[in-house]
Chain A
Amino acid sequence: ETGVTQTPRHLVMGMTNKKSLKCEQHLGHNAMYWYKQSAKKPLELMFVYNFKEQTENNSVPSRFSPECPNSSHLFLHLHTLQPEDSALYLCASSLTSGSTDTQYFGPGTRLTVL
């Protein structure tokens, strides 16, 4: 359960705030992901990084800005969010970005935008 960690676990922010979500993996993986999980919706892939390079941006609005300084750390920078951005944001990692490599998820950050 400590392989992929996320901070903070809960975040409340106003629409004009700037905040960042952090993800760290201790599994020696090379691929990292950000997902958005909203009620009654599928897990929505946002971004994929493979060996620190972004390989997928799933039409995510520019108010979400990812950063991957190394294979172990992934950030999601947030600014001027909207209330509909309130959701659980999950980070995941896998050995490579191949879809058959098991993805290990973090506990998520519950984000509320007021």
Chain B
Amino acid sequence: TQLLEQSPQFLSIQEGENLTVYCNSSSVFSSLQWYRQEPGEGPVLLVTVVTGGEVKKLKRLTFQFGDARKDSSLHITAAQPGDTGLYLCAITSGSRLTFGEGTQLTVNP
């Protein structure tokens, strides 16, 4: 059973469109992280959400932590080709980092 389920798994959109990626679990987390990874590189941390209901913005990216701290979403406004990549949510257990299934986003010019 996957601890963190992400949807959609694959997403291909046109430049300028908006999109939302979801990360869900049946467990409650003290915090949740979002990463973006490009091919052949390590993941890069985008944000950490800690408080239930918390909303954080990073330019055109909006991250939300569910009120019950079981789920999170990532919304991208006016997507650009440079947003293409693998988006991963992740949680920590002790010092271990466990990733969700990932969402492969392709933004076409």
- The reply to whether chain A is a binding partner of chain B is no
| Chain A interface residues (CB < 8 Å from chain B) | none
| Chain B interface residues (CB < 8 Å from chain A) | none
